[in-house]
Amino acid sequence: MTTITFEPADQPEIIRLIDELDAYQKPLYPPECHYGIDIAALSQVNVLFAVARDDGGEAIGCSAVVLNAGYGELKRMFTRPASRGQGVAQTLLAFLEHTAIERGCTRMALETGIYQAQALTFYERAGYMRRGPFGDYPDDPFSVFMEKALA
C-alpha cells in the first residue's frame, strides 16, 4: 500500500528522487526550457511537497503544489519507473488537489514538456485542459501548459 504525506524536500533520499527526475527531463529540452524548481524552492512556506512511499517506507514518488493567489501550480511530479502503473501518480495528484482545495485554490495549473507523452496523457485523463502560458512562464515551444478547475 502506498502512503502519501507532506515531508521536507531536503532529505537525502528525496534529493536522490529529484535527481532521478532531472536525469530523465534535462536531456529532453534545452537548458533555458527547464522549469523545474530546486530543493530550496520546494522548501518555501507556500509549497506543499508530498512524498509517496511503498510498504517498506521507500520513497517511490513525489510532487508539489505551489500555492499562489487563487490557484495551485503542480511541480515536480515524478514516480520511479519500477512503481509506475500502480496508481502512485493518481494518488499523489488527488492528494495535492484535495489539499489545494482546502487551502482555497479554485484551479490547478501546470507546465510540462512536449516530449513527455505519458505525462500529457496522464494529465488529460485527470481532467487537465491545455491553455496558454501562465504566471512568469514565457510562450515556450517546448512547453505545454494545462489547468483544471477544482471543485
Q: According to the model, what pLDDT value does residue 70 have?
A: 82
Q: Where are the alpha helices (DSSP H) in 43-114?
A: 88-102
pLDDT at position 80, please?
95
Question: What one-character DSSP code corresponds to residue 23?
Answer: H
* Domain edges within the chain: 3-149
CB atoms within 10 A of CB 148: 20
Cα–chain-centroid distance for residue 64?
5
Tens digit of pLDDT for each residue in 1-41? 899 999 999 999 999 999 999 999 999 999 999 999 999 99
Task: Give yes or no for a contact between 71 and 146, defined as CB atoms under 8 angstroms apart.
Answer: no
44 in Cβ contact with 10 (< 8 Å): no
Reported confidence tier of residue 101, pLDDT bands at 50, 70, 90: very high
pTM score: 0.93
CATH number of 3-149: 3.40.630.30
pLDDT tens-digit readout, 41-66: 999 999 999 999 999 999 999 999 99
CB 114 within 8 A of CB 142: yes
For residue 151, pLDDT beyond 90 = no
